[in-house]
Amino acid sequence: MDPSEHPGWRSAPSAAGEPAFRRPLGALELGFYWDAVTDGVAVTVNVLDLEAAPAHEHEVFARDNVVRAWLRLKQRFPLLGAAVEELPGAECIEFVVRETALKTLRPGELNFVEFTDAKDVARFREQLHNGPTVLGSELLARVWVGAQRDAPGRWWVFIPVVHYITDGMGNATVVREFCEELASLGEGAEVGGVPLEARLRTIVPTEVLTPSSKLSVPRRRWRFAIAKVIQDIRGGKTVGGHTLPTLPEVSHTKPLSRAIFVQFTVAESQQIMRTCRAWGLTLGNAHPVLSQLAFARLLHRLHAQGTLSDADWETRLRQPMHYTGPMNYRPYLDSAWYKSGGAEEVCIAISFYTLTLPSLPRAPTSPPDATGAPPFHALLSPARFRARAQAARAQSKALAAHPLLHEFHALRLTLRNARTRTAALALREGRPASGLSPLPGVAPSAGRFAELPPCVFANGGASLGDRDALMPEAYPLPGAGAPPEPVRLRLHGAAHDLRCRMGELYLGALTWRGRLQFFAAFDARTYDEALVRAWTEEVRGATLAFLGAGAEVPGARL
């Protein structure tokens, strides 16, 4: 079926006459569905660190108010209350939205807990991050709410959500709007206004929202054919590559998700952004170059220590380095949908970028520093750093501006979905999942670059930008023209713990409360945690060396 000919929502009341609606998952949703079937990976656990104002704590976190807030959130964003159903043969998966499921609590959906101290919180967080999956076909999102008893006024909320109904923008909406509903107090549990059927018409697969979907069938097919030719040519040129050395072969089907964070001070963060602006770059443009410099320093050190063999080292030096990751697809979709709420809708609306940098920087004649690696500026001069970041920027802009952007997106999903479905069904039946892939186009044993045509990606990653505007600190939020209300709730922290896929290595960046931070999310059964930590610290060092205080800002001409 042509992806733009998606059938959409249809009324499907139950035998008892209960209002309900169904639609097949779109191509993007379907790929992440099969990921989630693989032992609950591709799930994001939203972690909210909250402080209630003393005068309002008992109101804000009263059981009735928490229930009211969650019910309202489900009615406003119906996929949070949806279920999924596999039709016979697992060829078609459908969302099922029942009106009663949006207005009532289902068993296990909303849970109240109590935490003794920070260690108790950490244990619970780890259980959601790596324990048995808590989501399934009937519950695509769940909530746990609890006070930390050794810290008066401090509360924690955990909201795991399957990736196929949300993304980075959607998760920010869940966090912000749940805080807003909690702090608003007075409104009833039912949300009036738009009928459910009309609301669902705005929650459609991305392929329905592309400009290409409005073209005639012959023209759409012609564009797909041209895109396929271009993709095949590009794919034939995207070869080689390498990533971090992996652990010895371990036979496993369940990843161990870990995350490592490094932060900058507010002053450092401001300077980094000033340098990026002076160079005409975004942090996202510099992101892969910072990763590559961290690879270079780490691999130089491993080779000098004898941990990395001469043959491995020489092979890596000849390889280009490929990067991939999610990009916000929403601005490229239907403009009316985007402006009327699609920009922050709770749904998944991402695409994927890929880009290539030249081979690993090296400094064979430079004496090592105290860490045993060449200094950053011996690996790349500021001018060459800027040139590589501009090359990354040019590749990203070329993809986003390409007239066949949406066709490339659809073609990639077709290949990805076939692979993830095959792997998920194999695991379900107890067979080896040879088709499992941690990232689009990456084979399972990602570190074994010599065995993996056509290419290996160094890591996945993306810059999520400034999260402060998406998730403010104080609630309720000020209303337009309304008198200010007292602050009842403060959001001190909002993390998004990713249940990683097998072999995943992801480097993210964001700004939170004025402080830039990098985070590495990875499968600790594929990559050594100490090695990933060292790599992440090197990313921080590279950022300070090239973008921090004292960074050389060359003129417009290189």
**Does any domain span residue 475?**
no
At 499, is the pLDDT very low, low, confident or very high (cuts 50, 70, 90)? very high
**Does any domain span residue 552?**
no
**Does any domain span residue 555?**
no
User: How far apart are alpha carbons 488 and 456 in whole angstroms?
Assistant: 49
- Per-residue pLDDT tens for 46-66? 999 999 999 999 999 999 999
- Segment 142-159 shows an average pLDDT of 98
262 and 200 belong to one structural domain? no
**Does any domain span residue 436?**
yes
Tally of domains within the chain: 2
Q: 152-161, 490-499, 532-541, 544-553 — which is least confidently predicted?
A: 544-553
35 and 81 belong to one structural domain? yes
Domain that holds residue 47: 3-205
**Does any domain span residue 556?**
no
At 479, is the pLDDT very low, low, confident or very high (cuts 50, 70, 90)? confident
**Does any domain span residue 495?**
no
Write down the pTM of the prediction.
0.92
The percent of residues above 70 in pLDDT, for the chain, comes to: 92
Q: 10-14, 200-204, 540-544 — which is least confidently predicted?
A: 10-14
116 and 184 belong to one structural domain? yes
**Does any domain span residue 281?**
yes
The mean pLDDT of the chain is 90
264 and 361 belong to one structural domain? yes
423 and 536 belong to one structural domain? yes
398 and 534 belong to one structural domain? yes
Compute the C-alpha angle 42/515/184, nearest 5°: 70
CATH code of the domain containing 46: 3.30.559.10
358 and 441 belong to one structural domain? yes
**Does any domain span residue 420?**
yes
pLDDT of residue 391: 97
pLDDT above 90: residue 75: yes
Nearest-CA neighbor of 463 among 404, 401, 389, 530? 389
376 and 285 belong to one structural domain? yes
172 and 276 belong to one structural domain? no
Residues in a beta bridge with 162:
43
CA distances for 270 relative to 273, 277, 515, angstroms: 5, 11, 8
Q: In what order do the strands lie in the sheet with 350-357?
A: 257-263, 515-523, 505-512, 457-466, 321-328, 350-357
411 and 450 belong to one structural domain? yes
49 and 125 belong to one structural domain? yes
- Per-residue pLDDT tens for 400-459? 999 999 999 999 998 888 888 888 888 777 765 554 444 333 333 443 322 334 789 999
171 and 94 belong to one structural domain? yes
CATH code of the domain containing 442: 3.30.559.30
CA atoms within 13 A on the CB side of 263: 8
User: How far apart are alpha carbons 52 and 118 in whole angstroms?
Assistant: 17
Q: For 105, left (φ over 0), alpha (ψ -120 to 50), or beta?
A: beta
